[in-house]
Amino acid sequence: MSLGTSVSTPVTTGANGEGALVARARGGDPRAFEVLVRTHKDSVVNVARRIVGDSDAAQDVAQDAFIKAYRELRRFRGRSSFATWMYGITVNEARMHLRSQRRRQARWEKQAALEAHPAGAERPDASAEPLLALLQELPEKHRVALSLFYLQELSLAEIAQAAGAPEGTVKAWLSRGREQLRQLARERGLL
């Protein structure tokens, strides 16, 4: 496949247009999938970025999520919008990224202790972006819910679907998460 292929067939990305694109991509048309990627890449990267707390890592997560989505397209039933389904995959990929990051961190700390370096001396800097850094101080589940909430395009039911948790639980995560975030932002002088 050539990189950067342009889309030769005019397409729309409204609800019906998107359904047709998904059907074409499922049938093996990579150009249709490319349009879906172009349409949703910003939102997907923003969800991933808020969960993992790093813009570069978010792009890796988004890349993995889109590739996984392409391979799993046949499982997409159309019971939700493609975007909601895609966010669910992104959340899972971001959680996997965080797990492997925690494992790497644990290995690094163990190695640093063996070499008698003070713990944290060579640890990568915390995010230079203050709002992202605030989010990273919240529990992962709250962060996931807030990442979807701040897209400002999803209903509570859609957030719950993408987060893989019941609506009532996600509502509680959002409520607690936003209050914790408010307190942290106040402490750091961001409000």
Partner 1 sequence: MSCDLVREQLADYSAGFLEDADRGRVEAHLGACDMCRAHLAELRALDRLMAGDRTTAPQSLVLRVMDGVGPASVRPRHAWVYLLDDLGPALAAMVLLPAILLLALREAAAWTSTTHPLDLAALFAQPTTAVAATLGMALVAGVALWFSQQVAGSLARI
Interaction site with partner 1 (CB under 8 A): 1, 3-5, 27-30, 33-34, 37-38, 41-42, 44-46, 49, 55, 58-59, 62-63, 66-67, 70-71, 74, 77, 129, 131-132, 135, 146, 149-150, 152, 156, 171, 174-176, 178-179, 181-182, 185-186, 190-191
| Rounded Cα distance, 71 and 65, in Å | 10
Q: Which is nearer to partner 1, 84 or 142 (CB)?
A: 142
Q: Minimum distance from CB of 93 to partner 1 (Å)?
A: 13
Q: Which is nearer to partner 1, 105 or 175 (CB)?
A: 175
Provide CB contacts within 8 A for 108, sequence distance 6+.
Answer: 123
Q: Which is nearer to partner 1, 88 or 177 (CB)?
A: 177
Q: Minimum distance from CB of 92 to partner 1 (Å)?
A: 17
Q: Minimum distance from CB of 173 to partner 1 (Å)?
A: 11
Burial zone of 110 (CB within 10 Å; 0-12 exposed, 13-18 middle, 19+ buried): exposed
Q: Which is nearer to partner 1, 92 or 109 (CB)?
A: 92
Q: In the structure encoding, which two tokens stand for residue 33, read together?
A: 């999938």
Q: Minimum distance from CB of 112 to partner 1 (Å)?
A: 31
Q: Which is nearer to partner 1, 106 or 126 (CB)?
A: 126
| Rounded Cα distance, 93 and 76, in Å | 17
Say which amino acid occupies 74.
R
CA distances from 111 to 34, 116, 120, 123 (A): 42, 9, 11, 12
Provide CB contacts within 8 A for 180, sequence distance 6+.
Answer: 137, 138, 142
Q: Give CA angle at 181 (180, 185), nearest 5°.
A: 120
Q: Minimum distance from CB of 8 to partner 1 (Å)?
A: 14
